[in-house]
Amino acid sequence: MEFFLYLIYLVITLVVVSLGDYYFGLLYLSGKDTFEKQELTDWARIIPSKIVSVFESAGSLQYGLLAFGLSAFFAYVWTLTGGLIGSPHYTDSFGNYFFLSFIMPVLVLAFYSFISSEVLRAARISRNSGSFLARLLNQEIPLLSGIFISVISSNLAVYGLYHEISFLFVLPNVLILMVLLILRWNGKVKFGGIRMDREEEEVEDLGEDS
């Protein structure tokens, strides 16, 4: 029952965040003062086009969907981890609050470039090699979206089904994750681009000097 509820919230969250992103771009980034009714209420066009654009952000719908699904599953398992080190994952305990919090998604957001570079280096694969792993890790936006949306959905599912964790934790946690994801989709989160790959930085510096 909980997993089914999680899947429902996964779809709902994806739709809500997509709408939030669309209106954020329309109202704050477009520079327009007046809007047509169709721009504001044509949800049958807005929602699917926005969701597809997220999955296609790295140029491949197939790999984008796969990256989103894998990262969402990983994040869902992560939110259940609190139940392995203490009381069940849905109860009011510190471990559950930690694994349901925004900490893991924010860390992945901040260090994604470093993490993906280290994984490829360990596998001795070039980022531009065209291999499965390289193409998968190039799906930064779908991967991050899967993690953020999955953690949000887990929070909502756990609270909605059991009502044991604090609502004052769930609400700000969900809002923080939504806001950060929308900002990242629009390139407004600077630390989302942190690079700690020294070799690539040296290559870029040499290119600038020449």
User: In this structure, are residues 175 and 92 in contact, taking their beta carbons and an 8 Å threshold?
Assistant: no
Task: Provide the 3-class DSSP secondary structure of residue 147.
Answer: helix
User: In this structure, are residues 90 and 161 in contact, taking their beta carbons and an 8 Å threshold?
Assistant: yes
Q: Exposed, middle or buried by CB within 10 Å (0-12, 13-18, 19+), for 41?
A: exposed
210 residues of the chain, pLDDT tens digit each: 899 999 999 999 999 999 999 999 998 888 888 888 888 889 999 999 999 999 999 889 999 999 999 999 999 999 999 888 778 999 999 989 999 999 999 999 999 999 999 999 999 999 888 899 999 999 999 999 999 999 999 999 999 999 999 999 999 999 999 999 999 999 887 654 444 444 444 444 444 444
Q: What single letter denotes the amino acid at residue 166?
A: S
How many Cβ atoms sit within 10 Å of the Cβ of residue 84? 10
pTM: 0.88
Q: What single letter denotes the amino acid at residue 75?
A: A
**Per-residue pLDDT, 122:** 94
Cα 210 to Cα 203: distance, rounded to the nearest angstrom: 11
The DSSP-derived string for 180-191 is: HHHHHHTT--GG
The radius of gyration of the chain's CA atoms, rounded to the nearest angstrom, is: 19
Q: Which residue has the tokens 């994801």?
A: 181
| The two three-digit tokens of residue 179, written as one number | 């806001």
Q: Exposed, middle or buried by CB within 10 Å (0-12, 13-18, 19+), for 60?
A: middle
**Per-residue pLDDT, 187:** 86
Cα 195 to Cα 199: distance, rounded to the nearest angstrom: 10
